[in-house]
Amino acid sequence: SQFQELESAYHDVCAELDETRLELIPLSKKIKLMAGVLYAKQRKENQGLILNPDEFQVMLGNAEPSLSNFFDQLYVGTNPHNKNHMTNTRNRQRLVLLCYFLAGLNNKFINGVKAEIGYLLDSAGVSSTALETIAGAGISIRRETVARYKKKQEANHIDTAGMFGSEHMNDLMVLNVDDYHNIHSKRRADNTTISEVHHFRTILLKAAPGIPALPFMNLHTGKNIINPNGIDSDIIIEKVQHSIFPHLWLTYNERKLAFARELPEASNHDERMEMLLIHSYDNRLIQRRADRSMNNTKLVNLVEGSLRSTEDYIKALKNVLDVPELKSYLEQYILAAPMDYPGQFYVRCAISSCLNSENRFELSPLLLHIVPMI
């Protein structure tokens, strides 16, 4: 037992010596070591920013053992004993940014945080002059760097849309084509225009993992999903005769009783209130939160222009056909496209033109695989 006590004391002394040796490392050397670690993470390993204080501290300690207590030393300098928990948590998050800025002063190529700040300011509509002023203070990157990044992202965007299509090649996908109006701008008149409002076309895809895609061709009948007659008046007349005409002679009270029989009977007060709350949108949002989620969603493109004609919708749908992976998807399956009345009308006009033997607009037959619906 005496030997074990001596061994334990020896290890304690060694640990204290290691801590003392780490504390004796000059601050300038620690900043240089940290800059080397962050440079390797950003430039060599292509890793993103680590903004969580605990993860940042673990990352530094794993990459360079002499930096294992560096973050704690900085944190002690914020006088945490005289501050509440919320302030200390916020200070730890700020210290992570401070570490990135210190490393950036040591090596200008460690600019991950400044780049994110520059992209955020640019997306918020900050002017070029203001962005240059902030960059001059060393907080952000310059506007030329932001412009190069935006061009690179624009060139790579079609690849990300293709990756989304490949990932959900056998899943049901829903297409949304709608207009977006940038009305949050100053409506000041000049010599050529009365406002700065812009109109855009948004092309959005929503995938439903686990739900199989709908094939364009029915393998059992050998027919596709498109009715060759387009809008078939005979089918409409038949449905109206069987579904609507038999109920036209019913009085209001008789129809009300028929609706009451179809509804389930409420067994308690809560169910009765739930049946009465037809337009309780808050409840619907809670219940449909998963359905309204933006997960498994991809913005294919956002282009300037309006959606007021068949040609406008054809140009918008061409953005889907220009992605090779999405084009391959359409060769086998269909894209369900919920639209308002104008969207359905113009897209169905394009489909009718494709069905026309002349097809004078030379439209792609893959437009038949886009099925507009309410």
Is the predicted pLDDT of residue 151 greater than 70, yes or no?
yes
Of 49-58, 148-157, 314-323, 354-363, the least confident: 354-363
Give residue 38's pLDDT.
92
**Model-level pTM?**
0.61
Give residue 285's pLDDT.
53
CATH classification (class only), 169-186+196-220+296-373 = alpha beta
**Structural domain boundaries in the chain:** 2-110, 169-186+196-220+296-373, 233-287
* CA separation for the pair 164, 170 (Å, rounded): 12
Beta strands 297-304 and 370-373, pairing class = unpaired
* CA separation for the pair 190, 154 (Å, rounded): 31
Cα-only R_g, the chain? 31
Single-letter code of the amino acid located at 242 = H
325 — pLDDT class (breaks 50, 70, 90): very high
Average pLDDT, integer, range 81-103? 92
Give residue 197's pLDDT.
74
Average pLDDT, integer, range 119-137? 88
89 — pLDDT class (breaks 50, 70, 90): very high
234 — pLDDT class (breaks 50, 70, 90): confident
CA distances from residue 76 to 81, 83, 87 in whole angstroms, order as listed: 9, 12, 13
Is the predicted pLDDT of residue 172 greater than 80, yes or no?
yes
Average pLDDT, integer, range 256-282? 74
**Mean predicted lDDT score pLDDT of the chain:** 83
From 26, 129, 339, 127, select the one nearest 349 (Cα to Cα): 339
Reduced 3-state DSSP string for the chain: CHHHHHHHHHHHHHHHHHHHHHHCCCHHHHHHHHHHHHHHHHHHCCCCCCCCHHHHHHHHHHHCHHHCCHHHHHHHCCCHHHCCHHHHHHHHHHHHHHHHHHHHHHCCCCCHHHHHHHHHHHHCCCCHHHHHHHHHCCCCCCHHHHHHHHHHHHHHHHHHHHHHHHHCCCEEEEEEEEEEEECCCCCCCCCCCCCCCEEEEEEEEEEEEEEECCECECCCCCCECCCCCCCCHHHHHHHHHHHCHHHCCCCHHHHHHHHHHHCCCCCCHHHHHHHHCCCCHHHHHHHCCCCCCCCCEEEEEEEECCCCCHHHHHHHHHHHHCCHHHHHHHHHECEEEECCHHHHHHHHHHHHHHHCCCCCCCCCHHHHHEEEEC
Highest-confidence segment of 83-97, 183-197, 344-358: 83-97
Tokens representing residue 341 in the block: 């009345």
Average pLDDT, integer, range 59-67? 89
Residue 304: strand pairing partners: 200
Give residue 295's pLDDT.
85
114, with CB counted inside 10 A (0-12, 13-18, 19+), is buried
Cβ-Cβ contacts under 8 Å for 293 (sequence gap 6 or more):
none
Higher-confidence residue of 18 and 172: namely 172
* CA separation for the pair 270, 310 (Å, rounded): 49
* CA separation for the pair 60, 236 (Å, rounded): 70
